[in-house]
Every structure is written in C-alpha cells, then in structure tokens.
Structure 1
Amino acid sequence: MHRQPKDLPTMVFDWGAIKWLVTPGTVGDATSSFGEVAINPGKGHERHEHPDADEVLYVVEGTGRQTVGDAPEFDVVAGDAIWVPRGTLHSTFNTGWKPLRLIATYTPGGEENALRGLPGFVELPAGTDPTWSPDVGRS
C-alpha cells in the first residue's frame, strides 16, 4: 500500500505536529504505527508514557534533548535512534533553531489514538498544512 503525506490528516499540538503514515486504524493489516514528528524550535513534549506499546524514535534532522526512564537526559542528533520500552516515562525537546524531525513507531500500533486527548490537540484534514508562529521574545 502506498501512502502520501498530502493525503493524510495531521495531528497538531502547541509543540509541533505528527503525520501518521501507517496505523492499524488506517491500514487494514498493520500491526504497528509509523509516523513523522516535527518538534518546533524551543518546544517539546512533557514526560509521558505509552503503557501498551514500545516506541522507537529515529532522528532525521535537527538537535534535541531526550529523556528515557530514570536515566540522565541526553543529546540527540540526526542519525540517532532511541528505544522507549512500554510504560517508560520519556520526553523530547528541540534544542536547535530549526524543526527537530523524527520518525516514530509504536509496537503494537494504535497508541497514537491516546494523543487525541492531549491539551491543545487539533487534527487538520488532509491537504491542510500546519502553521507555526514562534513566541518571539517570550519565555
């Protein structure tokens, strides 16, 4: 099955956006989820967990700081992979001047549905691009 990002909705949050390319809810026989995450400069998501799925993150572009469980926070750059076992608290923050782009997978898939309950969640229809406006000069 061929899936193009322009034909899919986009999850938007105050920290960035996610485009899920493959999920069990959108691809009949899929057992995992696969998507691209864009975290805006100076933004990130708070520590959270996925109780029913392992997560793998692959850094495509940019720089950031990552937490996984009780281990110390660490830097991430393009080419890095991060494994987050199910039920493990984790967070990702962009430390660079351009978007931090990640590939995210959930195994088993479906955990992306929990993201719909996060504060500020908006789903843009296919063909609608998210816009980002930095809080210039604000902390």
Structure 2
Amino acid sequence: MSGTFMMSRETPAEELAWGKLRWMSSPPATGARNLTVIEVSISPGEGHDFHKHPDQEEVIYVMSGRVEQWLDQEKRILGPGDSVFIGADVVHASFNVGDGQAQLLAILGPCVGDAGYELVDVAGESPWKGLRARR
C-alpha cells in the first residue's frame, strides 16, 4: 500500500496522567518505517517530564497553547507555530504553562521497535529531577 488516511476523530486517544496521545502514524497504525507522528494534548499545569529517545530524532511543533520546552538544560516558552528539533539521545521535556490545553505535533524518526517509538525516562535522575525548581 502507498499510504493510509488517518482521521483524528476516528483515531482513539491514549489517556495519560498529563494529557492525551493520538498515534497518527506508527508501524501498527500505518505500516510506517521512518516516521512516527503523534498528536499530543497536554493539560494545564501538566507536562511530559524529562526523557530521551536514544535512536530517534524529534520535532515538536506547537499548534496551540503555551509550552515550557526544555532542550537539554535550556528552556524556552513556545507558542503556536514555534517548534524545536531534538537530536537523538538528547534529554527534553514539555510542560503546559498556559490556561487551556496545549496541542502539539510530535514527529519522530526513524521508527524504532514494533511501536515505532522508544522512550527512556530520566525525570528522577540528576540534574533533571531538580531542574525546573531552579528557575
């Protein structure tokens, strides 16, 4: 097959403590080999804590809201139309600092493993566990 339509309203959301994920392209959903695309919704005051993808590059594009985006130990506030490129194995985190839902598009490549996605949580490790407190 040369492609697949993925309709957001027909793609089930994965509910997490901090928000929702909608897998718009991944090996199980589309047969993709090179791109995993995730529609991400972060609830106000919540975030996807410090983590990395050892074998994947990522682009995070902000569609709506205000996001405190960390790239290693540097942070910026991103708004609609802003993005960040994250190299493979670089620690990063995204926190919603706005009043409403923050909507992001996360694009990772290449696909890794059966799900097309790998994640190593480092939020409990130094220096990441205390980084936000040092604002």
TM class by smaller structure? 0.7 to 0.9
With 8-17 and 36-45 compared, the bigger mean Cα shift is at: 8-17
TM-score (norm 1): 0.75
Opposite residue 78 of structure 2, the aligned amino acid is V
Out of 55, 58, 61, which is 2:58 matched to?
Answer: 55
Offset at residue 73 of structure 1 (A): 1.4
Q: Is the contact made by 1:22 and 1:30 (CA closer than 8 Å) also made in structure 2? A: no
TM-score (norm 2): 0.77
CA–CA separation in structure 2 for the residues paired with 1:109 and 1:30: 5
Offset at residue 25 of structure 1 (A): 2.3
Larger relative CO (CA 8 A, sep 6+): 1 or 2? 1
User: SS at the partner of 1:6?
Assistant: helix
Runs of 4+ aligned residues of structure 1 deviating over 3 Å after TM superposition are: 110-115
**2:127 — aligned with what?**
none
Aligned identity (percent) is 28
Q: Is the contact made by 2:45 and 2:98 (CA closer than 8 Å) also made in structure 1? A: yes
Within 5 A, what are the aligned runs for 1:68-87? 68-70=71-73, 72-87=74-89
TM-align CA RMSD: 2.0
Offset at residue 28 of structure 1 (A): 2.3
Out of 19, 23, 27, which is 2:26 matched to?
Answer: 23
Q: 1:3-50 CA distances to partner (integer Å, 9 max, x unpaired)?
A: 112322322211101101111222124421112100000110210000
Aligned residue pairs, count = 116
